[in-house]
Amino acid sequence: MTETIRVSAVVFRDPDGRVLTVRKRGTSRFMFPGGKPEPGEDAATAAVRECAEELGVVLDAGALRSLGSFTADAANEPGHRVVADVFEHPYIAIDLGAPQAEIAELAWMSLDEEHDGIAPLLRDAVFPALRAGVSAAPAAG
C-alpha cells in the first residue's frame, strides 16, 4: 500500500512568467515552496505559514488563488505519493540569496523549458497544467 503525503504549495510567477522553485537541504529535486499542514490547519493557512518559514515573506491569504489538488510520486520519500493543494499568489520580490529553514536553494524556472532536477509533482502534474492554463480538482479548504 502506497502512503499519501498531503502538502500545500504556492506558485509565484515573476514578471517574465517563470515560477519560483526551492530545493530542500539534502535533496536534489526542486519543488514549489510549501509543506505539510500542521494538525487543524487548512491548506491555505499551511501555505502562508510555510512560505513565511522557507522564504521569509508574508503572504496575503486573501490573494491566494486555488489552482487545484495535484497528485504524483513523492520526490524525497520513496514509495509515497504526494497530494498537493496548490495555490497561486501574486508576484512579490523574493531574495534568492536568502533561503531559510530547510531550504538550500531557490531558483526561478521557465515553464517552457525541460528541467531534469524537478520533483515529479511539478514535472508530471503542475507544470503541464500551468502550461495549459488549466487547474486540477478543487483544492481542500
pLDDT for the residue numbered 112: 84
Read off the pTM.
0.89
Q: Express each pLDDT in 105-119 by its tens digit.
A: 999 999 988 878 999
Which cell is 23 given?
530545493
Q: Express each pLDDT in 44-76 by its tens digit.
A: 999 999 999 999 999 999 999 999 999 998 888
Strands 80-89 and 65-73, by their bridges, are antiparallel
The residue written with cell numbers 487547474 in the block is 135
Angle, vertex CA 132, rays to CA 66 and CA 109, nearest 5: 80
Which cell is 141 given?
479548504
pLDDT for the residue numbered 1: 56
Angle, vertex CA 33, rays to CA 32 and CA 38, nearest 5: 120
Among 74-78, 89-93, 100-104, 128-132, the minimum mean pLDDT is found in 74-78
Q: Please name each of the domains of the chain with its CATH number.
A: 4-132 (3.90.79.10)
